[in-house]
Copies of this chain bind each other. A is one copy, B any other.
């Protein structure tokens, strides 16, 4: 393209969901040392939600369309703009059935885009901030839970990932997706019912032995901004991904962890 862009450029795959893309961008800005507009980092966000099938619906077999291909299209759009490190603020998109297909599709089409792995970055943040934790509860979509996304990454690190019991998981899924009160339908502000269901699920995980709670869906991060839940530390994958994007592009601009 005709435009000269600086390198490096942070890229964000928006639309999964739309507000999660903005939340990730806000967290990149919030984790950057900056006192003026000019000190903030170059960032591009491309939000094409209508092209990307629901990730959980695919993993549960409710739609045959793997969202990996539409995600790859957005990644290539960001790459064409000059993005050198790209984040996808959707935990479910990191299930191997989607993420591995995305990487294969990028390789097939000759893309050299560098896509960070939100779940690995969350495990890294957990290890840095809560090194003693051995059992962690995960609030996620049913797609992320069934695909075992967090257990697969955490188990080798000696951390057990606890999922809610089925009936509680159904309520977490509804808090995210319900067309009347779910976060994807209403997120500014989130409905009290959606927040309440998530808080109840966090308490359920605490009672089951969780020593920390991973907000394992970007909509859950929007609904539960607090740093502790029922006394347990909340671990935010969107924050982990934001910090990783800065670390991989402008490491000297990354604020220290507080």
Contacts and interface: CB of A to CB of B under 8 A. Distances in A.
A42 interface: yes
A179 B73 contact: no
Contact of A185 (B22, B36, B42, B45): B36
A62 interface: no
A97 interface: no
| Chain A contact patch, size range | 35 or more
Given A3-B80, A35-B179, A40 B44 contact: no
Contacts of A52: 37-38
Given A3-B80, A48-B42, A50-B6, A19 B14 contact: no
Given A3-B80, A22-B26, A49 B40 contact: yes
Contacts of A76: 2-3
A30 B37 CA distance: 25
A9 B184 CA distance: 21
Name which of A18, A30, A44 has the most chain B CB atoms within 10 A of its CB. A18
A47 interface: yes
A139 B105 CA distance: 50
A107 B53 CA distance: 39
A46 B81 contact: yes
Interface in A3-24: 3-6, 14-19, 22
A43 B47 contact: yes
A226 interface: no
A48 B6 CA distance: 9
A47 B50 contact: no
Contact of A50 (B22, B40, B185): B40
A185 B35 CA distance: 4
A39 interface: yes
A29 B185 CA distance: 11
Nearest to A1: B80
Contacts of A17: 37, 40
Interface of A: 1-6, 14-19, 22, 25-26, 29-30, 34-54, 73, 76-77, 80-81, 179, 184-185, 188
Given A42-B47, A45-B45, 7 more contacts: A14-B45, A19-B29, A22-B26, A37-B54, A42-B51, A43-B45, A80-B81
